[in-house]
Amino acid sequence: MLSIHSQFSNHFNYSPALVVKSPGRINLIGEHTDYNHGFVLPAAIDKYIEVAIGKRTDGAIHMVALDLGETIILPIDNLTPHATQWVNYIIGVVDQAFNRMKATNETKLAAGFNICIQGNIPLGAGLSSSAALECAVLFALNELYNLSLSRMQMALMAQAAEHTFAGVKCGIMDMFASLHGQKNKAILLDCESLAFTYYPIELKDYSIVLFDTQIKHALASSEYNNRRLECEQGLKIIQEKYAFVKTFRDISLEQVEECLASKVYQRCKYVVEEIARVQLAVKDLAKGDMQAFGKKMFETHEGLSKLYEVSCPELDFLVEAVASNENVLGARMMGGGFGGCTINIIKKTAVEEITKALSAKYNQAMHKELSYYITSIEDGTHLVA
C-alpha cells in the first residue's frame, strides 16, 4: 500500500509539509465521569488516524478521505456544520483555530490547506476515531502554522469542535487521551482541575482485549446528550438544598438518596459511585492488584447497564459471557455506550480459546460476527518522520 505521503503527492502534485498520526483510545475505568467533573483512566492505543497536510494560497480547504474515496472542498472562512460527518471533525477544529487566530489579528490560516486522511481505527466502535481525527488535524495545523498551542489547549479546542460541529456534548477524555498518551501508561485525569498522572500498566501475563459488538452506536449522540442533561438536573436539585455543592465531586451518596428520585436518581447514583471507584481502582493499580482492579471493571459495567442505562443487549451478553471465567480479571462496556466494544483483561494463554468460544456464542445468540482487537498502549499524537 502507498504511504500517505505518496498519496498526498499523487493527489496534489507536491509533497506534504508534514504527516501526523493520532491514536484511538481505550478507557480502563471512569466512564461518563469526564463531563461530570470526575476522574477517567484512559490510554492511547495502537490504532491511528494519519493525516498529510500542505499549504494552499487560495483560501480553500481540500480534504481527501482516502479510505472513503471522497473529496470535499470548502472555503476556510465562515465554516458551518456540514452534512458529511467526517468533514465536521476537520472543519470543527479548523474553525476553532481560525477564530482563535482572528482574535489576535493573525491571518496565518486564511490561505487554506490540502489534507489527506486515512486510518485503521474501526469507526463507531467506541475507540474515538473522531477525536483522533480532530487531534491529528489540529496538531498538524499547529505544526504547519506555528500556532504555539499546548496539547491541553488542543484537547479543549477539539472538544469544543465536537460540541459545535458534530453536535455531541462530549467530555474531554477522548481528545485528552489521544494527545497525551504515553507507551505502556494509563493516564489518570482529574476532569475538574485537568491535572493528570501517568500510571505504568504492567499486565505481565495478561492482555487488554476489546470485543467489538459490531453494533454502531446510532442512538449514542442523542442519548449521550440526554444523560448529560439528567446529571445537570440532579446536580441542580442537590445544589438547591446544599449550597456548598459545586460539582459531582462534592456530592455524597446520602445526598443522592435524600434529594433525588427515578431516572435522575439512578444516573447520579452511578456517577457518584463511579467517581469513588476510579480513585480506589488507581490504588489497586499502584499496588499491582489487578484482581481487585478487574472486579471494579465489572462493577462499572453493572452501573452503566442498570443505573446509567447506556449498555445494550450485545454488550451485556459479552460481559456476562466472560464474568465467571477465571482467566478474565475484568470486563465492561467501554466509552459512550449503545454499542461499540467491551474492554477485557484476559490471561494471555487463554485469549485464543476465549475469543474462539465467545465468537461462536455471540454469533449464535446475536446473529452477528464478533471482532476482537488485542491492544497495546502507545504514544499520543506525533509527527511521522
Q: How far is the CB of 128 from ligand GLA (least distance, A)?
A: 6
Grid cell in block for residue 143: 505544526
Q: Pick from 38, 92, 119, 171: which binds ligand GLA (CB under 6 A)?
A: 171
173 is a site residue for ligand GLA (CB under 6 A): yes
174 is a site residue for ligand GLA (CB under 6 A): yes
340 is a site residue for ligand GLA (CB under 6 A): no
Q: Pick from 234, 294, 303, 336: which binds ligand GLA (CB under 6 A)?
A: 336
335 is a site residue for ligand GLA (CB under 6 A): yes
How far, CA to CA in Å, does 13 sit from each of 3, 114, 194, 326? Answer: 15, 11, 43, 57
Output 98 or 270, the one with its CB closest to ligand GLA.
270
23 is a site residue for ligand GLA (CB under 6 A): no
Residues 6+ away with beta carbon under 8 Å from 95: 79, 161, 164, 165
Output 114 or 342, the one with its CB closest to ligand GLA.
342
Q: What is the SS3 assignment for 375?
A: strand
**Which amino acid, residue 156?**
L
Q: HSE of 113 in the Cβ direction (CA atoms, 13 Å)?
A: 26
| Whole-number Å distance between alpha carbons of 203 and 206 | 5
Q: How far is the CB of 180 from ligand GLA (least distance, A)?
A: 14
Q: How far is the CB of 7 from ligand GLA (least distance, A)?
A: 29
How far, CA to CA in Å, does 212 sit from each of 28, 156, 226, 306, 346? Answer: 16, 28, 24, 21, 15
Q: How far is the CB of 224 from ligand GLA (least distance, A)?
A: 7
How far, CA to CA in Å, does 107 sit from each of 72, 84, 110, 277? Answer: 23, 27, 5, 47
Q: How far is the CB of 173 from ligand GLA (least distance, A)?
A: 4
Output 35 or 372, the one with its CB closest to ligand GLA.
35
Q: Are 76 and 110 in contact (CB under 8 A)?
A: yes
DSSP H stretches of helix in 324-375: 351-366
DSSP H stretches of helix in 112-172: 129-144, 151-161
38 is a site residue for ligand GLA (CB under 6 A): no
Q: Pick from 22, 34, 86, 113: which binds ligand GLA (CB under 6 A)?
A: 34
| Whole-number Å distance between alpha carbons of 214 and 242 | 44
170 is a site residue for ligand GLA (CB under 6 A): yes
Catalytic (active site) residue 174: yes
| Whole-number Å distance between alpha carbons of 288 and 339 | 30
Output 174 or 212, the one with its CB closest to ligand GLA.
174
Active-site residue, selected from the candidate residues 34, 174, 212, 316: 174
Which residue in 164, 169, 298, 173 sits closest to 223, CA to CA?
169
Q: Are 184 and 135 in contact (CB under 8 A)?
A: no
92 is a site residue for ligand GLA (CB under 6 A): no
Output 32 or 269, the one with its CB closest to ligand GLA.
32
297 is a site residue for ligand GLA (CB under 6 A): no
Number of residues that bind ligand GLA (CB under 6 A): 11
Output 51 or 231, the one with its CB closest to ligand GLA.
231
| Whole-number Å distance between alpha carbons of 47 and 44 | 8
Q: DSSP label at 156?
A: H
Q: Pick from 16, 22, 32, 115: which binds ligand GLA (CB under 6 A)?
A: 32
Output 16 or 212, the one with its CB closest to ligand GLA.
212
Applying CB under 6 A, which residues contact ligand GLA?
31-32, 34-35, 128, 170-171, 173-174, 335-336
- Provide the annotated active-site residues: 174
